[in-house]
């Protein structure tokens, strides 16, 4: 039996033709207008149902977060420091919660009072800094553009520092603002 020649390969495809076919296959047609309108109506109905079933949050409600103490120089041992460094250096307290970090410096001020100077990282926008003792406000400040604040001439003793921004309040661990700080 005579041998048949091998089948010939199809001609090489035209790259331009393949590119156009690929582009055409990726082109999505718009959904028909009546389908779009029905989908939007269904979404509006769903949103209305959710609003009816979810109670509205009272105005002024804030999320309250408790910051964790990361560092307090008053608790650091003096073994790593020389005699000269043990002098009147400001006390440093660092606290964190989520993506917010608070660096607080406690320094002596006039007449046996203290000055609290700090910087808050991770809060954008307006933020009030409030120092309280037993629910009574001792001092208050707002953050500047760099997130810094100053509470001058605060009394010594136990206190709580709060950061208040839109919808959230961050409470630092209780501070012992002793005269020897």
Q: What is the pLDDT along the chain (181 residues), one digit of tens a residue?
A: 667 766 666 666 677 887 887 777 777 677 788 877 888 788 778 777 766 665 544 556 678 899 999 999 988 755 555 545 445 678 999 999 999 999 999 999 888 899 999 999 998 888 999 999 999 999 999 999 999 999 999 999 999 999 998 878 999 999 998 855 5
Q: What CATH number does residue 137 fall under?
A: 2.60.40
* Residues 30 and 109 grouped into a single domain: no
Contact call for residues 128 and 138 (beta carbons, < 8 A): no
Domain count for the chain: 2
Same-domain status, 117 and 145: yes
Distance CA 130, CA 125 (A): 16
Cβ neighbours of residue 131 closer than 8 Å, sequence gap 6 or more: 116, 137, 138, 139, 140, 151, 154, 159, 160, 161, 162
Sign of CA dihedral 43, 46, 48, 51: negative
Domain-embedded: residue 95: yes
In-domain check, residue 4: no
Q: Is the domain of 24 the same as that of 104?
A: no
Q: Looking at residue 57, what is its pLDDT?
A: 47
Verify that 40 and 104 share a domain, yes or no: no
Whole domain around residue 165: which residue ranges?
Answer: 63-177
| Domain match, 116 and 135 both | yes
Residue 2 lies in a domain: no
Q: Is residue 32 part of a domain?
A: yes
State whether 106 and 69 are in the same domain.
yes
**Assigned token pair, 42:** 């269904």
| Residue found under tokens 């002793």 | 178
Parallel, antiparallel, or unpaired: how do β-strands 148-154 and 127-133 relate?
unpaired
Q: Is the pTM of this model over 0.85?
A: no
Same domain, 48 and 68: no
In a domain, 127, yes or no: yes
In this structure, the answer to whether residues 128 and 90 fall within a common structural domain is yes
- 44 with 93, same domain? no
The answer to whether residue 166 is domain-embedded is yes
Residues 100 and 130 in one domain: yes
Q: Dump the DSSP string for the chain.
A: -PPPPPPPPPPPPPHHHHHHHHHHHHPPPPPPHHHHHHHHHHHHHHHHHHHHHSPPPPTT--EEEEPEEEEETTTS-GGGS-TGGGSSPPEEEEEEETTEEEEEEEEE-GGG-EEEEEEEES--S-EEEEEEETTEEEEEEE--TTSEEEEEEEPSEEEEEEEEETTEEEEPPPEEE-TT-
The verdict on residue 22 lying in a domain is yes
């Amino acid at each position: 039996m005579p041998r048949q020649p091998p089948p010939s390969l199809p001609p090489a495809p035209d790259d331009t033709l393949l590119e156009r076919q690929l582009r055409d296959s990726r082109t999505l047609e718009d959904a028909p207008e009546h389908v779009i309108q029905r989908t939007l109506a269904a979404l509006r109905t769903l949103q209305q149902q959710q609003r009816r079933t979810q109670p509205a949050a009272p105005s002024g409600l804030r999320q309250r977060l408790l910051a964790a103490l990361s560092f307090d120089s008053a608790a650091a041992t003096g073994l790593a420091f020389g005699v000269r460094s043990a002098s009147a250096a400001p006390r440093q307290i660092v606290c964190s919660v989520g993506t917010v970090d608070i660096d607080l410096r406690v320094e002596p001020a006039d007449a046996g009072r203290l000055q609290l100077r700090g910087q808050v990282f991770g809060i954008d926008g307006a933020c009030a800094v409030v120092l309280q003792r037993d629910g009574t406000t001792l001092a208050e400040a707002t953050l500047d553009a760099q997130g810094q604040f100053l509470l001058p001439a605060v009394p010594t003793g136990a206190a709580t520092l709060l950061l208040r921004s839109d919808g959230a309040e961050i409470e630092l661990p209780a501070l012992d603002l002793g005269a020897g700080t």
